[in-house]
Structure 1
Amino acid sequence: MDINILKTFIEVYRTRHFGKAADNLFVTQSTVSARVRQLEEALGVQLFYRDRNNIQLTPPGQRFLKHAESILNTWNRARFDIDLSEDTKTRLIIGGEPSLWDLYLGEWLLKIRKNLPHIALAAEAVSTESMVRQLVDRTIDLGFTCEFPQIRNITISESFAFELVMISTKQGLGPDQAIQSGYVYVDWGTSFANQHAKFFAEAPAPDIRTGLGHLALGFIKKNGGSAYLPEPMIRDDLLKDQLYLVNDAPVIHHKSFVLFHEDSDRRDLIEEVISWNTRNESK
């Protein structure tokens, strides 16, 4: 099996579009179509419903997705291991939800590099669902998420607590005004969604939904609008009067969690770098 075929399958699933998948993979759309057909013929099933501008996985495609991700992750980990230099004794593969890299994981990664220069590091932005599968398959060593999945043999603990505040590019707005127009809903996980629904039960559908805090921030600063974002992420913009707190908007207290396999052969290293993260963020 050509590994590029699996990459193509996953990219089509991710983008829901053959043309966008082709652009991201730097190939032609006909190449993407040919690879998907080849995979479907090899498996003997249809993997996608091909409705115009709405590509969706079929039930067999949904079942195959986790296997495709597992194969690709195992392949990437094997390449990572093989590429280790003679001076590098250990490698550490870290997965995190995309917005958590922007919030605090990036700085923490730099601290690992500074203190353990001979450790080979790989950092990946992944969904919680994919992260859990990779932890179970041991294709990543630890992961960070805003969810609290209870999975057998996976150790989970609180990593970092933060406040999500409602901000806007307009000064003096109340929450009912801010959420009516130009509102960007950022998916901070199930706990946030439940609290958000409680506070804004009658809110209209948001203009944009995204799982990326930095994307929401960039969009709002360029086009105007409002969103719930972590206070550390927008602190400088508040001080510069580029963004404003929405008056009387509820503050949503949120947590992130760190996960790793309890039988990991790198457990001592994992617990050491996790402790750095905790100490660093509590200062």
Structure 2
Amino acid sequence: MNIEMIETFLDLCETRSFHQTASRLGVTQSTVSGRVSALERALGCRLLARSRSGTELTTEGLRFEPYARSLRLNWTTARQDVRGAGRAALTMRIGIQHDLLGDQAAGWVSALQNAVPEAALYVEADYSTQMCSDVMNGQLDLAIHFTPKAHPDLYFETLGEVGYHMVSTEARMLTDVSPDTYILANFAPAFSTTHAALLPSLSGGAVSSGQNAVIRALLTALGGSGYVLWQTATELERNGQAYRVAGAPRIAQPVYVAVHLRNRHRSAHRRLLRALKAHLGARDTVPGQPA
């Protein structure tokens, strides 16, 4: 038995399609079939049943799935550990939502290092769906993100929230904001739902983006109105590049952390959670400035 068999089986558990799994893994369908057959021979039972209507897990396949996920995680953990981290006691891989990391990477890394000084850190920016998958697969130890993706192997905790504010290069009042030059933000499903409820007349913008940095660039280059993180709004105001729009509601975006269920009570992970909550609170609270 090798890890490729396990990876292939787990991908089939998601896709229920030999064709789709072959495409996702970059191999041929015959390779997928061969790996599954080899795994079934090693276990002495059928894991998948193929028919005209598709592919389904057998009873044995359903029983084996949680063990397969555990095997994949243990393999990933072992591979990372044996590679070593220099003089550090362990390596921790952290994923952070693009908007949260932005140009604030130093602050996040400092908070992480203070929480786990014994660890060598790897930090990357990504999006919620991919990060949740990476935590589940053992590619990340912890993910700070906007949209939890429920899974039996994942534990989620709320860290706090960040605030988005509407700014404009052409309007100081909400009633003066033009839908024609409005840049629609789509940072996360929760944000979009709140935006649509509060501002239905501005929820069909001709230009849309899911990144704070992109919306900022569009506003400064093309003009118009749109939502940005309050730190960005403050900077744009300070530089005379845009105004904060009076009457426009602040939209809060919850921030979550995801860890593998088996790690939720480990000391290093608990220290990270406490430090991240404190950092997020300090990062989004400035005297005299609404959060």
Coarse TM-score class (shorter-chain normalised): 0.5 to 0.7
1:146 and 2:137 matched = no
- 2:263 aligns to what SS in structure 1? coil
2: CA distance, partners of 1:96 / 1:238: 27
The one-letter code of the counterpart of 1:221 is: T
CA RMSD of aligned residues (A): 3.3
- 1:241 aligns to what SS in structure 2? coil
Residues 47-79 of structure 1, C-alpha deviations (whole Å, 9 max, x = no match): xxxxxxxxxxxxx9xxxxxxxxxxxx9999887
Q: Structure 1 residues 87, 221: closer, same or farther in 2, change over 3 A? A: same
Q: Structure 1 residues 114, 158: closer, same or farther in 2, change over 3 A? A: closer
* 1:154 CA displacement: 1.9
Whether the aligned pair in 1 keeps the contact of 2:166 and 2:250 (CA below 8 Å) is yes
* 1:234 CA displacement: 2.4
Q: Structure 1 residues 266, 124: closer, same or farther in 2, change over 3 A? A: farther
Q: Structure 1 residues 181, 276: closer, same or farther in 2, change over 3 A? A: same
Aligned equivalent of 1:238: 237
Aligned equivalent of 2:181: 182
The one-letter code of the counterpart of 1:191 is: A
1: CA distance, partners of 2:205 / 2:252: 21
2: CA distance, partners of 1:259 / 1:204: 30
Residues 108-160 of structure 1, C-alpha deviations (whole Å, 9 max, x = no match): 21232356454221112222222222222222111111124333232211113
Q: Please give the residue correspondences for 1:216-235 in structure 2 after superposition, counting only pairs within 5 Å.
A: 216-235=215-234
2: CA distance, partners of 1:152 / 1:245: 42
Residues 169-209 of structure 1, C-alpha deviations (whole Å, 9 max, x = no match): 2242425x435123222222111111111123233632322
The one-letter code of the counterpart of 2:162 is: F
5+ long unaligned stretches in structure 2: 1-22, 32-53, 55-72, 283-291
Aligned equivalent of 2:18: none
* 1:257 CA displacement: 0.8
The one-letter code of the counterpart of 2:279 is: N
Whether the aligned pair in 1 keeps the contact of 2:167 and 2:245 (CA below 8 Å) is yes
Aligned equivalent of 2:39: none
Percentage identity across paired residues of the two chains: 17
Q: Please give the residue correspondences for 1:49-60 in structure 2 after superposition, counting only pairs within 5 Å.
A: none
Aligned equivalent of 1:17: none
* 1:90 CA displacement: 0.5
Aligned equivalent of 2:122: 122
The one-letter code of the counterpart of 2:218 is: F
- 2:240 aligns to what SS in structure 1? coil
- 1:181 aligns to what SS in structure 2? helix
Q: Structure 1 residues 219, 191: closer, same or farther in 2, change over 3 A? A: same
The one-letter code of the counterpart of 1:154 is: L
Number of residue pairs matched by the alignment: 220
Larger radius of gyration: 2
TM-score, normalised by the number of residues in structure 2: 0.64
5+ long unaligned stretches in structure 1: 1-35, 46-59, 61-72
Aligned equivalent of 2:281: 282
1: CA distance, partners of 2:81 / 2:222: 44
Whether the aligned pair in 2 keeps the contact of 1:103 and 1:232 (CA below 8 Å) is no
Q: Please give the residue correspondences for 1:83-232 in structure 2 after superposition, counting only pairs within 5 Å.
A: 83-102=83-102, 106-113=106-113, 116-174=116-174, 177-203=176-202, 205-232=204-231
2: CA distance, partners of 1:196 / 1:282: 23
Q: Paired residue for 2:29, among 19, 40, 43?
A: 43
* 1:272 CA displacement: 0.5
1: CA distance, partners of 2:203 / 2:278: 41
- 2:102 aligns to what SS in structure 1? helix
TM-score, normalised by the number of residues in structure 1: 0.66
1:263 and 2:259 matched = no
- 2:219 aligns to what SS in structure 1? helix
Aligned equivalent of 1:253: 252
